[in-house]
Structure 1
Amino acid sequence: MDINLARTFLMVAETGSFIEAAVKLNITQSTVSARIKGLEDLLGCSLFHRSKSGADLTAAGEQFRKHALALVRVWQRAQLEVSLVDQHSDHLAVGASQGLWQGFLLKWVARLRATNSDIAVSAFSAASPVLTQRLIEGTLDLAVMYRPIQPPGHVVEHLFDEEFVLVTSGKAPPGKREPGEYVLVDWGPDFQQDHAAAYPELTNPGLRLDLGSVGLDYLLATEASAYFPARIVKPYVTRGRLHQPKRARRFVYPVYMVYPEARDEETYELIIQGLRRAAARLG
C-alpha cells in the first residue's frame, strides 16, 4: 500500500476535514479525495462519514487508525535505519514512561553512547499502552515502564521498584501539613487510583500537571507540594531546597524493561546488561 494513503487518512482524521488536510499536506483537495477513495476501495469499506460540516471516522475508520499509525511508523523507522547504515552498525529504538528518563534512562543512554558510539539511539516518551503497541508493531526495540501488560513474543524483566514521595518547597515544620498549593502530578492510572484512595480530598486540586518530572520546576519556582520519584528529588531534599514530610504516604511501583524474545543476542545482551547495571546503581 502507498504510504501516502495512510498519511492522508491520518491527516483527515486529525483535522476532520478534506479541505484542511489538503492545506496541511500541501496538495489539492481532489488528491485527498482520490487517496481516501483509493484506500476505501482497498479495504472494501467506508472510513469517513462525509457531510457539509466535515468528515468523521466510521467504526471501520476508528479501527484502521491504529494500523495506519503503525504503517507510518514502520516506514519512518525503515527510512531512518537505511539512512544510518553507513555511519552506525546498529540502531536502538527505546521508549519509556516520561518520568523514567530523568535521572535514570538518560544517564544510561549517555553511557551506552560513550562505550558504543557505533549504535545509534532513538528515544521516545509515551504512556504504557502506546509503548506496548509499538513493541508489538516492531517500531520499538526496548521499552521501560511501570507494570506493563506482557506483549506476545516479548520478555518482561523487573529492573527496580520506584518510590513516589511527597515533597514540598514550603517551610512547614516537620510532621505538619505542607504549606502552599498542592499540585497533582499525573504519574499514570495506577498512581491516580492509589492517590485518590489515600487523599480523596485532593483528587480535584486547583492545579494538575500531566508533565511528569518537568513539573518539578514548578515546585522550585513557587511554594507548593507534589509527589515525585524519590530518586529525582533526593538531591534537592539533601540540599534543603525541598522538604519531605515524614508521615506522608508513599507509593511504590515496580519498573520493568520489555524486549523481544527473538533478538540479536550479541547486540541485545550488551544493551540489557548495561540497563541492569544502571538500575542497580539506583539502589
Structure 2
Amino acid sequence: MYNLDISLLRTFLEVNKTRHFGKTAENLYLTQSAVSARIKQLEDILGVPLFRRYRNNIQLTPQGERLIHHAEQILNAWTQAVQEVSLPESSSQLVLGAPQSLWEAKLSILPIRLFEAISDIHTRTESLDGKTILRRLQERTIDFGFVFDHSKVDELITEPLTTIDLRLYSSFPDKQFADVIEHQYVMVDWGQSFSALHAKHLPHIRSPKLHASDWLMAVDYLNQIGGYAFLPTSLVDCNEYPLFAVNDAPSMQRDVYLCYHLSSERLENFEIILNTIRDALN
C-alpha cells in the first residue's frame, strides 16, 4: 500500500510545466531543495525515474510521461472532493468546462442564470480544450461540457446548443480578403472543424503570427500590433477598440454543443440545470 502525499504530485506537475526546479520553488513557495526532495520521494515511491536532469535542461522520462495523465486525474478528483465536502449540507456543486474562447464569447452569463434558477447551487468553471473536456466528462470530474465539435463518444449525450457568427476583422480600414498575409494573421481557437474550414479558405496561412486560445487576446494583439483575425460579430461591435470588417471575406459560423454523461441525469436538479443552460444560450 503506497502512502502518497498529494503535494508530491502537485510538485511533479509544476516541474513538468516549468522544467525548472528554481521556478517551481518560487511558484509553490518552497525552497529548491524541498522541490528536489519531493521529486526524489515520488520517484522512490514509484520506483522509477521521472525526470532526466541535464545542465539547464530537465526532460520527462517515459515513466514521467505516463504519470502526467494520472497525476492530473488524481489532483482534479481530490480538488473536487475537497470542494464538495466543504459545501453546506443543503448545497450542491456543478462543474462546467469549456474552451476559453467560448467562455468569453457566449458562456459568461451562464453561472448567473444558474444561480438565479437554483439559489443554493455552487458552480465551478474550468477553461479546457475540447479533448480534455470529453475525457473529463468520461471520468466524471466535470458535469457539463461545451465544445465546438460534435462528440461521438458513446457514453456522452451531445446536443446542439447555439451558434457563434464569425467574421474576419482587421485593425486596418478598407482591406480586402486578398490582403491577408501570414505574418499579420492571428489564429483563434474555434475548434477542429473551424481549422479545416479555415484551411480551405486561407490555404496560404500555415504559420500564423499568433495562435490565441481566446478571442480577447486576439483583439488586444490586433489593436496593439495590427493584423487580422476571425472574431465573433456580436462582441466585436461592442468593443471599445476600432476594428474593421473585411467585407469580401467569407463569414463562418461555429456550432456550440452541450455534452454530458449518460449518468448525469441522476444529478440533483438535473432538469432545472439543463433547461437553464438551454434557455440562457438560445
TM-score range, shorter chain: 0.7 to 0.9
Work out whether residues 179 and 225 of structure 1, in 8 Å CA contact, stay in contact via their aligned partners in 2: yes
Give the % identical residues. Answer: 31
Greater shift after overlay, 105-114 or 225-234?
Answer: 225-234
The normalised TM-score by structure 2 is 0.79
- 5+ unaligned residues in a row in structure 2: which ranges? none
- Determine which of 176, 180, 185 is the counterpart of 1:183: 185
Deviation at 1:227, TM superposition (A): 0.8
Work out whether residues 21 and 32 of structure 1, in 8 Å CA contact, stay in contact via their aligned partners in 2: yes
**1:257 maps to what in 2?**
258
**2:104 maps to what in 1?**
102
Alpha carbons of 1:182 and 1:13: their partners in 2 closer, same or farther (altered >3 Å)? closer
Deviation at 1:110, TM superposition (A): 1.6
**1:71 maps to what in 2?**
74
Deviations 1:128-157 (A, max 9, x none): 122223223332111101115444532112
Deviation at 1:203, TM superposition (A): 3.7
Greater shift after overlay, 251-260 or 186-195?
Answer: 186-195
Deviations 1:210-239 (A, max 9, x none): 142202345567865321123333556xx9
SS of match in other structure, 2:108: helix
Deviation at 1:20, TM superposition (A): 5.9
Work out whether residues 142 and 257 of structure 1, in 8 Å CA contact, stay in contact via their aligned partners in 2: yes
Work out whether residues 104 and 214 of structure 2, in 8 Å CA contact, stay in contact via their aligned partners in 1: no
**2:61 maps to what in 1?**
58
- 5+ unaligned residues in a row in structure 1: which ranges? none
**1:194 maps to what in 2?**
197
Work out whether residues 223 and 241 of structure 2, in 8 Å CA contact, stay in contact via their aligned partners in 1: no
Distance 1:222 1:50 in 2: 39
Deviation at 1:248, TM superposition (A): 1.4
Which consecutive segments of 4 or more residues in structure 1 shift more than 6 A?
A: 178-181
Alpha carbons of 1:24 and 1:197: their partners in 2 closer, same or farther (altered >3 Å)? same
Matched letter for residue 164 of structure 1:
L
Work out whether residues 143 and 258 of structure 1, in 8 Å CA contact, stay in contact via their aligned partners in 2: yes
Work out whether residues 155 and 260 of structure 1, in 8 Å CA contact, stay in contact via their aligned partners in 2: yes
Work out whether residues 171 and 222 of structure 2, in 8 Å CA contact, stay in contact via their aligned partners in 1: yes
SS of match in other structure, 1:117: coil
Matched letter for residue 269 of structure 1:
E
Describe how 1:1-283 pairs up with structure 2 within 5 A. 1-16=4-19, 21=24, 25=28, 32=35, 35-50=38-53, 55-85=58-88, 89-151=91-153, 153-172=155-174, 182-187=184-189, 188-204=191-207, 207-214=209-216, 215-219=218-222, 224-233=227-236, 235=238, 242-263=243-264, 264-280=266-282
The normalised TM-score by structure 1 is 0.79
Deviations 1:103-128 (A, max 9, x none): 42112222222232311111121211
Deviation at 1:193, TM superposition (A): 3.6
Work out whether residues 172 and 178 of structure 1, in 8 Å CA contact, stay in contact via their aligned partners in 2: no
Deviation at 1:62, TM superposition (A): 0.1
Distance 2:37 2:177 in 1: 66
